């Protein structure tokens, strides 16, 4: 390309200064003359066009190039300007876009393109780019659509004179080449996006070859104006940002919020294809040439705008490209690894990167396929790329809305915090209905009076008919508005709650759903059961409704509930028990579809494709309920030593095999892990998993003995619970990587059935490297890992199959995106529930485990069996090249496991603290109560908020005492008299024992009141301890602070007040 055409966007003559002054005056007068509302930046046209361009030209002088004759003749007719700006506005279409092409211009008639285009100093041509060849016989609908566009152009005077002409261009792709089917990517076809890629390249070259355009604006049919003078605003922004290679917008929706940390950087920061391209910029020339050269390779499986982002990211930072389509394989059937090109792209960036070649637009917003409402759009935005724009709630059009809030009756009355938050938010609700299980009418009256005096919005307090069954709230809620939404106190409202309604004039609420065949549904345990119930109403029901995002029609709800109750009455008792989930939003919609009114009552939106409109989000995550109750607090372990159930949390590639063999072989403990089931298979006792015996037994391997279960997977854990592994007494120690599943299914809060956890921690980067090399070695024997065979560790680190924050996910029981909140939960679990060991100090770690659990060695020192395992060789060790801490590989793996790295550093601190704490005497408990406050500085004092499922799952945690027996029991009962004890430290211990009994009470209200009383008393005692220490001039022995709080003795960590997530 000629150097004369490089960056023609910056070409202006000295006469532009005069023109700018004229335009400034004209822009100021136009609103008065025509009363046209437009953005402030139009008024500042004269200033914003000239000065940025002058500065840009000083940085990068560009030789002037005269326009062609056709353009010059147009400019000559303009008395104000002889040399203007020329834009190619390109609309791309395929063979199936005839209808959308015509409809896409309707908004052009609603929103004027410019204020006075006839006297403007720019020219714009509309170029309709067709992916195939123009043939009236082959594509009659396209021909008809083009005629309609031409007729509209003529009828609107070229949309008020802003479009000089309408032109066509044919990309001439064959039917085989013109592919754009995302489903093909799932099937492994790398050609799935070939059509848009080739069409973009050929259209760009066509616009470039004319030599008359300064830039190309790619404006697909789903990009539409939302403000007047949108073309003027766009051209003004182009001028004010020049010079650049690419001007566009990143994704602005919220569909990625839940998994953004899993997305490649290039995807997160890519500029959407609906952008302005400088056809004369040399950097853009390089990029398009690269796309053309990659057409026949696997790079072509990535859409052109995403690939441009990869090129920019690799050039600027050196990060290799990610390949986000695991179903597309290379020629050898392995995982695709794109060859990085850092030298080439780095050279380009070095030459052009300093000039900021890629800029973000404030005029264009990109929502892609995400559902959004017009209120989401910033006031400066003139153009939107999006498919699903809905209307916001309007009380005059859509009626009144109530909010029904379910409360579980917990001790700290979380409904109060919820009401404060909803009152502070921007919401559409005219009434709040609070449903709870109150004990008396006086309590209902008290809450009602408090709400009336505190909040401006009316709050109706309603007592639940069945205090132990919360799932009828949908049908029991007494509302007097047209619609209502439902949520519970374990959710928090957003600061602004927007409801979506169809924009087609029907005023129907928009209901997001998840398709039943989606993995988002199949991976959700309740989805199948919910759909099964819904199909009793409508057998073809394939939608799983999102309960927090549906507006219930009050009248239709009433009809549905009557039908639901009639169906339940006709069922056998066993069938009623199976449907204990109660009426669901999915069944409600199924009922409406059965009546044939679902489509007229609601507009349905695929949440996977379009996203969903979040109104309420889960409150801050808390320690999983099962871990809180079913795992022993490590500091209180000695009081329960007679019923110890050691559970080794096996973190992969962290010495787990060594620990298991040491316990089973050297100590001759009976172990429940995965080995017993494996031994059964190896000895030929089983033909397959279905042949497993229905009784538990021990399987011997020499002097090692294993229980014949496999607790390393959910199926084996369920079988262990079914056969009562804990009650059998066969196992001395349990080993599993699934800590939450084991605590939830196998163990229980009853004394004698709780587990005490210990674990070996290893640096996550070293663990990730070991895992990679182990799986790579395994790939030679197991074809399921074949894709790792030719992969480098750097490729693995940036691939989608690399492990990411495994420990934090396991400890917080969160499979989706994790963040700092989940890290705090993981720290809480490690601090309260786990005896910490380190792979870097195996000898000391095993000594602690021996001491803690009372395992006695046969000799004073390590015996030969133990010595060989601890000092000579680690079993299942994977010898591989170590990762240098200053290497790129270490950085990539650390970035992928940032939360796990922080958790490991915290575990190292606790290892030091616990090492001192194991020898601390009980007389130090006063100091423990004071020091413990440090680790909970961010939590509300003595606050407990149970998980959403607490009431629904309490039947899974049977108490050891009935409610009647609980009041008069042993020293651990609630009848124990703590007030008569004079020693503060002993009184604190007594209250802890009493609080433990409180947690075993099955009635929620009584349990909450009991715990609250204990907490209040404990708080007073702790204050007394602190006051006494201040008065006596005693200084607390502060341990050194770590990254996330103070370090301290393990007994000081674990003895103290109740935190938000349970007893410490």
- The pLDDT value given to residue 673: 93
- The full 3-state SS of 975-1012, as one line of letters, equals CCCCCCCCCHHHHHHHHHHHHHHHHCCCCHHHHHHHHH
Residue 968: the pLDDT is 33
Tell me the CB-side half-sphere exposure of residue 155, using CA atoms within 13 A: 10
CA–CA dist 947, 740 (Å, integer)? 14
Q: For residue 643, what pLDDT is reported?
A: 59
Assigned token pair, 298:
């696997």
Q: In the structure encoding, which two tokens stand for residue 386, read together?
A: 């999006």
Look at residue 1026 in the predicted model and tell me its pLDDT: 65
Is 360 exposed, middle or buried (CB count within 10 Å of its CB: 0-12, 13-18, 19+)? middle
* Chain centroid, CA 639 distance in Å: 41
Report pLDDT for 649: 96
| Contacts of residue 1045, Cβ cutoff 8 Å, sequence gap at least 6 | 934, 935, 937
Residue 736 structure tokens = 């599993």
The secondary structure of the chain in percent helix, strand, coil, rounded to multiples of 5, reads 45, 15, 40
DSSP result, 224-241: EE-STTHHHHHHHHHHHH
For the chain, list residues with pLDDT below 50: 1-82, 411, 575-579, 639-642, 685-690, 919-975, 1033-1064
With b meaning 16 or more CB within 10 Å and e meaning fewer, what string describes 752-778? Answer: ebbbbbbbbbbbbbbbbbbbbbbbbbe
160 dihedral zone (left: phi>0; alpha: psi -120 to 50; beta): left
The size of the chain, in residues, is 1064
CA-CA distances (angstroms) from residue 625 to 525, 541, 813? 18, 33, 10
User: pLDDT (tens digit, 9 = 90+) per residue, 370-413?
Assistant: 888 877 888 889 999 987 788 899 989 999 999 999 987 654 57
Residue 269 · residue 250 · CB < 8 Å: yes
Strands 223-225 and 246-248 turn out to be: unpaired
Identify the pLDDT of residue 929.
37
For 291, the token pair is 């796309």
Note the pLDDT of residue 868. Answer: 79
pTM for the model stands at 0.56
One-letter-per-residue 3-state SS of 544-598: EECHHHCCEEHHHHHHHHHHHHHHHHCCCHHHHHHCCCCCCHHHHHHHHHHHCCH
Of 67, 15, 20, the residue nearest 280 (C-alpha): 67
Name the residue among 636, 657, 638, 640 with its Cα closest to residue 648.
657
pLDDT at 444 (0 to 100): 87
Place of tokens 């020499």: 702
SS3 sequence of 305-363: HHHHHHHHHHHHHCCCCCCCCCCCECCCCCECCCCCCHHHHHHHHHHHHHHCCEEECCC
Check if the beta carbon of residue 36 is closer than 8 Å to that of residue 30: yes
Which helix H or strand E contains 444, and what residues bound it?
A: helix 441-454
Tokens of 948: 């959403």
Other CB atoms within 10 Å distance of the CB of residue 964: 7
Q: Which of 506, 469, 499, 464 minimizes the C-alpha distance to 484?
A: 499
**Residue 873 CB partners (closer than 8 Å, separation 6+):** none
Separation between Cα atoms, residue 22 and residue 47, nearest integer Å: 11
């Amino acid at each position: 390309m000629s150097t004369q055409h490089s960056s023609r966007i910056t070409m202006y003559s000295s006469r532009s200064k005069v023109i700018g002054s004229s335009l400034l005056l004209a822009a100021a007068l136009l609103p008065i003359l025509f009363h046209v509302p437009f953005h402030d930046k139009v008024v500042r046209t004269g200033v914003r066009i000239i000065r940025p361009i002058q500065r840009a030209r000083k940085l990068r002088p560009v030789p002037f190039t005269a326009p062609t004759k056709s353009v010059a003749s147009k400019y000559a007719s303009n008395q104000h300007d002889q040399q203007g700006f020329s834009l190619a506005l390109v609309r791309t279409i395929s063979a199936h876009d005839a209808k959308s092409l015509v409809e896409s211009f309707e908004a052009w008639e609603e929103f004027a393109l410019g204020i006075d285009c006839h006297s403007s100093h720019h020219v714009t041509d509309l170029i309709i780019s067709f992916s195939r060849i123009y043939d009236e016989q082959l594509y009659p609908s396209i021909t008809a659509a083009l005629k309609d566009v031409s007729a509209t152009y003529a009828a609107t005077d070229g949309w008020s004179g802003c479009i000089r002409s309408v032109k066509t261009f044919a990309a001439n792709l064959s039917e085989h080449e013109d592919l754009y089917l995302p489903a093909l990517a799932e099937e492994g076809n790398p050609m799935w996006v070939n059509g848009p890629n080739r069409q973009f390249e050929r259209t760009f070259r066509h616009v470039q070859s004319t030599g008359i355009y300064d830039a190309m604006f790619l404006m697909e049919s789903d990009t539409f104006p939302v403000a007047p003078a949108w073309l003027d605003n766009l051209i003004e922004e182009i001028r004010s940002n020049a010079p650049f290679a690419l001007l566009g917008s990143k994704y602005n929706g919220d569909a990625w919020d839940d998994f953004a940390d899993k997305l490649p950087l290039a995807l997160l920061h890519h500029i959407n294809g609906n952008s302005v391209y400088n056809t004369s910029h040399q950097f853009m020339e390089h990029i398009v040439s690269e796309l053309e050269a990659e057409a026949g390779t696997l790079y072509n499986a990535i859409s052109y705008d995403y690939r441009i982002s990869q090129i920019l990211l690799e050039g600027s930072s050196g990060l290799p490209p990610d390949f986000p389509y695991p179903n597309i394989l290379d020629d050898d059937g392995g995982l695709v690894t794109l060859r990085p090109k850092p030298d080439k792209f780095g050279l380009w960036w070095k030459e052009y990167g300093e000039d900021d070649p890629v800029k973000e637009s404030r005029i264009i917003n990109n929502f892609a396929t995400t559902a959004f409402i017009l209120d989401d759009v910033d006031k400066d935005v003139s153009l939107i790329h999006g498919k699903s724009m809905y209307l916001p709630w309007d009380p005059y059009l859509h009626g009144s809305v109530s909010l029904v809030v379910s409360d579980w009756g917990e001790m700290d009355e979380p409904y109060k915090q919820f009401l404060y938050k909803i009152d502070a938010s921007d919401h559409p609700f005219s009434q709040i209905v609070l449903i709870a299980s109150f004990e008396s009418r006086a309590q209902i009256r008290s809450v009602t009076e408090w709400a009336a005096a505190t909040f401006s919005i009316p709050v109706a307090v309603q007592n639940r008919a069945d205090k132990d069954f919360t799932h009828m709230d949908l049908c029991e809620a007494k509302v007097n508005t047209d619609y209502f939404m439902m949520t519970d106190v374990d959710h928090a409202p957003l600061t602004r709650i927007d409801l979506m309604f169809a924009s087609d004039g029907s005023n129907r609420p928009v209901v997001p759903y998840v398709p039943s065949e989606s993995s988002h549904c199949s991976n959700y345990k309740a989805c199948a059961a919910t759909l099964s119930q819904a199909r009793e109403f409508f057998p073809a029901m394939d939608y799983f409704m999102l309960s927090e995002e549906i507006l219930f029609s009050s009248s239709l709800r009433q009809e549905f509930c009557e039908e639901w109750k009639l169906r339940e009455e006709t069922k056998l008792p066993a069938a009623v028990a199976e449907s204990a989930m109660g009426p669901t939003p999915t069944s409600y919609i199924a009922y409406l579809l059965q009546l044939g009114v679902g489509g007229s009552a609601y507009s349905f939106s695929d949440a996977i494709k379009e996203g969903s409109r979040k109104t309420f989000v889960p409150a801050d995550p808390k320690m999983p309920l099962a871990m809180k109750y079913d795992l022993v607090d490590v500091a209180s372990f000695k009081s329960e030593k007679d019923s110890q159930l050691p559970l080794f949390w096996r973190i992969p590639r962290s010495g787990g095999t060594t620990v298991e063999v040491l316990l089973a072989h050297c100590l001759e403990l009976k172990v429940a892990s995965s080995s017993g089931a494996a031994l059964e298979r190896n000895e030929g006792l089983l033909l397959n998993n279905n042949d497993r015996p229905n009784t538990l037994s021990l399987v011997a391997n020499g002097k090692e003995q294993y229980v014949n279960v496999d607790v390393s997977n959910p199926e084996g854990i369920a079988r262990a619970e079914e056969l009562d592994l804990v009650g059998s007494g066969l196992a001395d120690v349990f080993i599993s990587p699934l800590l939450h599943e084991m605590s939830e299914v196998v163990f229980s809060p009853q004394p004698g059935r709780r587990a005490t956890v210990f674990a070996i921690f290893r640096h996550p980067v070293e663990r990730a490297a070991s895992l990679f090399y182990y799986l790579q070695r395994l790939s030679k024997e197991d074809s399921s890992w074949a894709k790792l065979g030719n992969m480098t560790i750097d490729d693995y680190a940036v691939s989608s199959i690399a492990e990411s924050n495994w420990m934090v996910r396991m400890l917080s029981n969160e499979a989706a995106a994790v963040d700092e909140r989940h890290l705090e939960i993981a720290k809480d679990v490690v601090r309260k529930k786990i005896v910490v060991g380190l792979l870097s100090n195996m000898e000391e770690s095993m000594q602690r485990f021996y001491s803690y659990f009372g395992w006695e060695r046969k000799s004073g020192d390590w015996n030969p069996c133990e010595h060989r395992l601890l000092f000579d060789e680690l079993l299942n060790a994977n010898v591989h090249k170590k990762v240098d801490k200053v290497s790129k590989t270490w950085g990539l793996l650390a970035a992928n496991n940032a939360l796990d790295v922080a958790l490991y550093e915290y575990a190292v601190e606790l290892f030091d603290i616990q090492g001192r704490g194991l020898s601390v005497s009980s007389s130090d408990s006063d100091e423990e109560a004071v020091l413990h406050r440090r680790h909970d500085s961010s939590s509300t004092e003595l606050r407990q908020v149970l998980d959403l499922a607490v009431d629904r799952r309490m039947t899974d945690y049977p108490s050891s005492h009935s409610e009647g027996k609980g009041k008069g029991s042993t020293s651990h009962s609630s009848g124990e008299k703590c007030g008569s004890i004079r020693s503060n430290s002993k009184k604190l211990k007594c209250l802890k024992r009493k609080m433990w009994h409180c947690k075993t009470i099955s009635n929620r209200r009584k349990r909450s009141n009991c715990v609250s009383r204990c907490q209040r008393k404990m708080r007073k005692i702790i204050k007394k301890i602190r006051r006494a220490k201040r008065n006596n001039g005693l200084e607390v022995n502060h341990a050194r602070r770590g990254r996330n709080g103070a370090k301290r003795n393990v007994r000081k960590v674990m003895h103290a007040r109740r935190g938000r997530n349970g007893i410490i």
